[in-house]
Structure 1
């Protein structure tokens, strides 16, 4: 898995604002029909269940939102390696693609949870995608972490675990890097480290963003969904 090489970057835009735009436009009835044309009925059902989840938990406290989102994707999405599922060695699926096809690898779970929580209003600076070493299986892995405060022990959302747990309760994970829309962090023992700045592009991430934009601006290849 070559994805660690992709992390030497700072994102050039606010994912929070981007996720808000997505959440607003995903509720468009035309876009629901677009999903129906692109995926099978199971994909449409997962997609509409996701919209229901976002609507239901808009006003809940963060702890409820974290658990609801973690449980939803762990339940709805089956795990597959990229090469088997997408026919590519390294593919970062958008939440729409992950839900439409109902499968993905650890990055896809983490990304879908990340965008969902941003859409629910969780502050961007409290969320980070984190590369870790999963020590039980001795494999590279990605999880989503949440910080209530800057120096607090993060909570871990993981497709390997049903429960959201503090990092201190996850001795099976060895942090490597964590990042979000504000930048890249070199992780220390609890996932807190010094910020590393770099202006190089993030090809896989940008490719995923481009696909989201294309889906959001297209209905069955005919017109704009606005």
Structure 2
């Protein structure tokens, strides 16, 4: 595997992407201040999810949702490695990468899994959130999963872009396996020398890594995560 993301896979240097660091920086500050990060505990209601998908994206969206339900059924009793690979492959193949500026306008929008599936497109945090929620629904312990904000080196250059991946941790101090929408294989973090972790978080907390710090307003930045949870609750995930 190449030590850096190929230039053809480079994320766009959009305003939304540049705001991403400030968002997670605010979340780190919030954790330091003792503010509670809302939890995502999967307890989905299939009927409400179908109704929400029909209302928002029509029958084509419902068809994709049924594929997701089939994935959950197929992987329900599978071993962990099969669950990780199956979920990673499903979203990497089903969802087309597009930057928030082109998908949602000039905002850094964090989509729910239903929104990502219904649109069939999303950016890195949308992939990571969808994989996280799906694996939790399959019974993977939430404390073994973290969404990781990284600086990703582009090609052979020293240029980096903001990016998010999902990590699976055997133990809290272990090096994670990385589930990435830009690289199809699931790879140990020590082999992803193109990624420099900055923050990681899940529904239990947030961990700071690297040297980057943000002075962003934590309450303003946490609203994106709360917004995802609120919409998931409305749509039938929680």
Asked if these proteins are the same fold (TM beyond 0.5), I'd say yes
**Gaps (5+ residues) in structure 2?**
1-17, 212-217
Question: Is the 2:179–2:187 contact (alpha carbons within 8 Å) kept by the matching residues of 1?
Answer: yes
Q: Within the alignment, does 1:209 sit opposite 2:209 as a pair?
A: no
Corresponding residue number in structure 2 for 1:110: 128
Question: Is the 2:169–2:177 contact (alpha carbons within 8 Å) kept by the matching residues of 1?
Answer: yes
Q: Give the secondary-structure state (helix, strand or coil) at the position aligned to 1:67.
A: helix
What stretches of structure 1 move > 6 A for 4+ residues in a row?
none
Deviation at 1:181, TM superposition (A): 1.5
Deviation at 1:6, TM superposition (A): 2.5
Q: TM-score w.r.t. structure 2 length?
A: 0.78
Corresponding residue number in structure 2 for 1:170: 192
Distance in structure 2 (CA, Å) of the matches to 1:168 and 1:90? 29
Question: Is the 2:146–2:200 contact (alpha carbons within 8 Å) kept by the matching residues of 1?
Answer: yes
Distance in structure 2 (CA, Å) of the matches to 1:145 and 1:34? 29
Corresponding residue number in structure 2 for 1:87: 105
Q: TM-score w.r.t. structure 1 length?
A: 0.82
Point out which structure has higher relative CO (alpha carbons under 8 A, 6+ apart).
Answer: 2
Corresponding residue number in structure 2 for 1:39: 57
**Gaps (5+ residues) in structure 1?**
190-198, 218-226
Distance in structure 1 (CA, Å) of the matches to 2:229 and 2:89? 24
RMSD of aligned alpha carbons: 2.2
Question: Is the 2:147–2:202 contact (alpha carbons within 8 Å) kept by the matching residues of 1?
Answer: yes
Deviation at 1:32, TM superposition (A): 1.8
Matches within 5 A, 1:6-25: 6-7=23-24, 8=27, 9-10=30-31, 11-15=36-40, 18-19=41-42, 21-22=43-44, 25=45
Q: Give the secondary-structure state (helix, strand or coil) at the position aligned to 1:149.
A: coil
Q: Give the secondary-structure state (helix, strand or coil) at the position aligned to 1:6.
A: helix
